[in-house]
Amino acid sequence: MQSYLKIPAIRYEIDRIPRAGSECIMYGVWNAILSWQFPVTDGYVTRPQDQHTKQSGEKGFSDLHTFHYRGSSKDAVKFLIVQCKRAGLETRPSVWAEGVNQLIRYLTATHGARRPDDRTPVYGTVAIGLFMRVYRYDDIRQTVSDWTAPGYATTDRQRG
């Protein structure tokens, strides 16, 4: 799998992220990454500001939610939520914790505790500035745990 950093337009956008730019810049970068990695021609759709069921009396909106329509099925498999935070907040543990808490709320609202036959891998990403962390959803505990794809960077200091 090719790194998104090898795609010129994505790399240019990443290189132009200002230190204290707004979250909308991150949405654009991640929409490009997800559209490249999960193309619509292969049945993928990424929805910005996807609404989830009510949580504590208010509606929740994930930043980006990726779905996959497999074969001729009209039912989408929801498998990835990305929460973005603006650049300049990368060193704040509270911002990472907020992103993880949002992932847990949205993944639980979407997937809850699925029946064993319905369980397919579901992931969440928190992206803050130039850094990201990937998590895998645990249906039983309704929480997330750190996850790294084989062959990819495993620390914040590694970047290709």
Say if strands 123-128 and 76-85 run parallel, antiparallel, or are unpaired. Answer: parallel
How confident is the prediction along the chain (160 residues), in pLDDT tens digits per residue?
A: 568 889 999 999 999 898 887 888 889 999 999 999 999 999 999 998 877 665 555 567 889 999 999 989 999 998 999 999 999 999 999 999 999 999 998 888 888 767 777 788 999 999 999 899 999 999 888 889 999 877 665 555 444 3
Residue 109: CA count within 13 A, CB half-sphere: 21
Distance CA 75, CA 14 (A): 33
Distance CA 3, CA 126 (A): 18
pTM tops 0.75, yes or no? yes
The domains located in the chain, with CATH, are 4-146 (3.90.1570)
